[in-house]
Amino acid sequence: MDTEKGLLIVLSGPSGVGKGTVRKRIFDDPHTSYKYSISMTTRDMREGEQDGVDYFFKSRNEFEQLIEQDAFIEYAEYVGNYYGTPVQYVKDTMNEGHDVFLEIEVEGAKQVRKKFPDALFIFLAPPSLDHLKERLIGRGTESSEKIQRRVDEARKEVEMMNLYDYVVVNDEVDLAKDRIQSIVEAEHLKRERIEAKYRKMLLEAKK
Amino acid sequence: MDTEKGLLIVLSGPSGVGKGTVRKRIFDDPHTSYKYSISMTTRDMREGEQDGVDYFFKSRNEFEQLIEQDAFIEYAEYVGNYYGTPVQYVKDTMNEGHDVFLEIEVEGAKQVRKKFPDALFIFLAPPSLDHLKERLIGRGTESSEKIQRRVDEARKEVEMMNLYDYVVVNDEVDLAKDRIQSIVEAEHLKRERIEAKYRKMLLEAKK
């Protein structure tokens, strides 16, 4: 096999940070060459949604059988419905040499880290975190209780970052998109990756 | 001190690969915010050159005194003239929070790696290396001697890459420039760097 294996790119972050919006902006860009891994769910299809485009829609029974067959990279239950990332599409697409993009919750990202330790993990951070300092010490008018709550919240978000390789602040959707694209481009240019490719060529040349 | 320290960016590669051209293109871009570290030399000033713009021009005696004072990050002698990177400008500029950009020879880059192990080392590779395979096995008409020479040359270039973090092929100057800018942007978004900044903010908030 000649094709270089694609990357697995995982975008995650606290809920409400705007992961879906950033992901859509990335895939609206005609230059984006990653493949989006469509999730599977047991929730009802909504007006305007299509099976195999927005989600793969499955019955609870089908989903649970797939769980038993270890067919998910990650899955979780939210408000009574299952959501998961089927492993087969991800593996096939990477083997074809394409980068695969997942946009998932923080809990799911933890599961992916275990199965794909070499994936590229990008944490999307709320802009409030970037202005933390001004918000916490810039003005002296806040109650200490309110400040403490913000410190605790921010600390939780900082703790979450730990398993990620990169942190992108979602201050502006287009900037966040550009940063993510730069990170992926740089990842492809890492010396280990490129040196390995050349060494393989040199070995083949000797045959 | 509040300012985050700047990065040291080192662009190097085999001689003749086009380092100077790529560097100029980067600094022609108005978005480039890195500072270029001007080299010091004992060679004569050429028509159109300015002291402190193209180089700092020094006498042989001055240069050797600076060597003794350990005032260079790296220096070397080429065709009877010294060339070197003064350490003071680099350190001051990084401490002010700016990224500093060096464009130097491979031997110099080795010296920098020892003094600044955390710098970002980018290897500019000749496009011929990228087409190595076609050139080596694609056509059957070449003499085995000629092929062997190409393999040896390519092997030397691949060995050189070893101390670098990233490899950028200089197939097109604008593409090489974009790749280098992506690498630097990604470096600023590494989790360790950003997490440390947030942790510092949180600590300060507790005071």
Nearest CB to B186: which of A132, A151, A183? A183
Question: What's chain A's average pLDDT?
Answer: 90
| Per-residue model confidence (pLDDT) at position A141 | 67
Contact across the interface for B132 and A168, Cβ inside 8 Å? no
Tell me the two tokens of residue A145. Answer: 């209780």
Question: What token pair was written down for B161?
Answer: 């890459």
Q: Which CATH number does the domain A8-206 belong to among 3.40.50.970, 3.40.50.300, 3.70.10.10, 3.50.30.30?
A: 3.40.50.300
B167-B171-B175-B180 Cα dihedral, nearest 10 degrees: 20
Q: List, for residues A91-123, the tens digit of each pLDDT value.
A: 999 999 999 999 998 999 999 999 999 999 999
Q: Tell me the chain A residues in contact with residue B13 when contact means C-beta distances shorter than 8 Å.
A: none
pLDDT band, residue A207 (cuts 50/70/90): low
pLDDT above 70: percentage of residues in chain A: 92
Give residue B25's pLDDT.
96
How many CB atoms within 10 Å of residue B11? 24
pLDDT, position A23: 94
- Nearest partner of B85 among B184, B12, B160, B3, judged by Cα: B12
Tell me the pLDDT band of A54, cut-offs 50, 70 and 90. Answer: confident
Distance CA(B23)–CA(A127), nearest Å, equals 33
Q: Over 60: is that where the pLDDT of A1 sits? A: no
When pLDDT is cut at 50, 70 and 90, the band that residue B101 belongs to is very high
- Residue with the two structure tokens 């040199």: A202
How would you classify residue B111: left for phi > 0, otherwise alpha for psi between -120 and 50, otherwise beta?
alpha
Q: Is residue B153 scored above 50 in pLDDT?
A: yes
pLDDT of residue A122: 98
Contact B191 A164 (CB under 8 A): yes
Average pLDDT over residues B55-79: 95
Q: Looking at the complex, does the CB of residue B195 fall below 8 Å from at least one CB of chain A?
A: yes
Q: What is the pLDDT of residues B5-53, one digit of tens each?
A: 899 999 999 988 999 999 999 999 999 999 999 999 999 999 988 999 8
A78, A122, A146, B112, B141 from A104: Cα distances, Å:
13, 11, 30, 41, 53
Length of chain B, please?
A: 207
Instruction: Label residue B90 left, alpha or beta by phi (over 0 means left) and psi (-120 to 50 means alpha).
Output: alpha
Question: Which chain B residues contact residue A189 at CB under 8 A?
Answer: 166-168, 179, 182-183
Residue B42's pLDDT is 97
Average pLDDT value for residue range B132-146: 68
Residue B119 has pLDDT above 80, yes or no: yes
Look at residues A83, A98, A91 and name the one whose alpha carbon lies nearest to residue A115.
A91
pLDDT in tens, A169-190: 999 999 999 999 999 999 999 9
pLDDT for A144: 77
Mutate to test the interface with B, among A9, A124, A201 (most CBs of B within 10 A): A201
Q: How far is CA A82 from CA A22, A60, A67, A101, in A?
A: 23, 8, 10, 20
The distance of A148 to chain B (nearest Cα, Å) reads: 9
Q: Tell me the three state secondary structure of residue A101.
A: strand
Burial A153-189 (b: 16+ CB within 10 A, else e): ebeebbebbebbbbbbbbeeeeebbbbbbbbbbbbbb
Q: What is the mean pLDDT of chain B?
A: 90
Q: How distant is the Cα of A190 from the closest Cα of chain B, in angstroms? A: 4
How confident is the model over B85-104, as a mean pLDDT?
Answer: 95
Residue B207 pLDDT class (50, 70, 90 cuts): low
- Stretch (H or E) spanning B103: strand B100-103
% helix, strand, coil for chain A, step of 5: 50, 20, 30
Query: Helix, strand, or coil here: B160?
Result: helix
A125 has a pLDDT exceeding 60: yes
pLDDT surpasses 80 at A51:
yes
Per residue in B64-79, is it b (16+ CB within 10 Å) or e — as a string?
eebeeeebbbbbeeee
Report whether pLDDT(B133) > 90: no
Would you state the structure tokens that stand for residue B63, as one six-digit string? 């240069």
List of residues 6+ apart from A176 with CB closer than 8 A = A18, A22, A25, A124, A168, A169, A170
The whole-number pLDDT of residue B3 equals 66
Helix locations, B39-143, DSSP H: 60-68, 87-95, 106-115, 127-130, 132-133
- Least confident piece of the model among A53-57, A78-82, A141-145, B64-68: A141-145
Where exactly are the structural domains of chain A? 8-206
* Cβ contacts of B189 on chain A, cutoff 8 Å: 166-168, 179, 182-183
**Cβ neighbours of residue A63 closer than 8 Å, sequence gap 6 or more:** A40, A41, A42, A75, A82, A84
Q: Please give the Cα distance from A56 to A70 (Å, whole number).
A: 17
**Which of the four pLDDT bands, split at 50, 70 and 90, describes residue A150?**
confident
Answer for the pair A154, B197: CB distance below 8 angstroms, yes or no: no
Of A64, A77, A126, A68, which is closest to residue A105 (Cα–Cα)? Answer: A77
Least confident of A11-15, A149-153, B42-46, B76-80: A149-153
Residue A45 confidence (pLDDT): 93
Q: Please, is A112 exposed, middle or buried when counting C-beta atoms within 10 Å of its C-beta (0-12, 13-18, 19+)?
A: buried
